[in-house]
Structure 1
Amino acid sequence: MRPLHAAILAAVLVAVGSLILNALHAPWIASPLLVGVVILAVGVLPNRLDSI
């Protein structure tokens, strides 16, 4: 996965996740945690897909 595609995917996932967290009235700490999880997932997922 190219870096630009990874950045776009991360931005979309963070935006969608933030909307979901707001709809669920999640505590404020959930948004930074979501960003961290998304960045880790986007960083690790392409490596996993390439090895398949």
Structure 2
Amino acid sequence: HRVQRAGSLFSFMFGQRAADQGVGDYEAARAQETWRYGPFFHAFLEAGVGLRPSVFEA
């Protein structure tokens, strides 16, 4: 997994490819293990932290 940022925006990227190479284009974003974001999102929400509702948003 990887956290990428651009200025004050950040995104969580999931999967081995994202961890190794980062996500720099649409193809790499679509190749993420997006199914991992739901449990991650809900765990943060239960802890009182609001994240963006989609893995594809920054």
TM-score (norm 2): 0.29
Larger proportion of helix: 1
The structure number with the bigger radius of gyration is 1
Higher RCO, 1 vs 2 (CA within 8 Å, ≥6 residues apart): 1
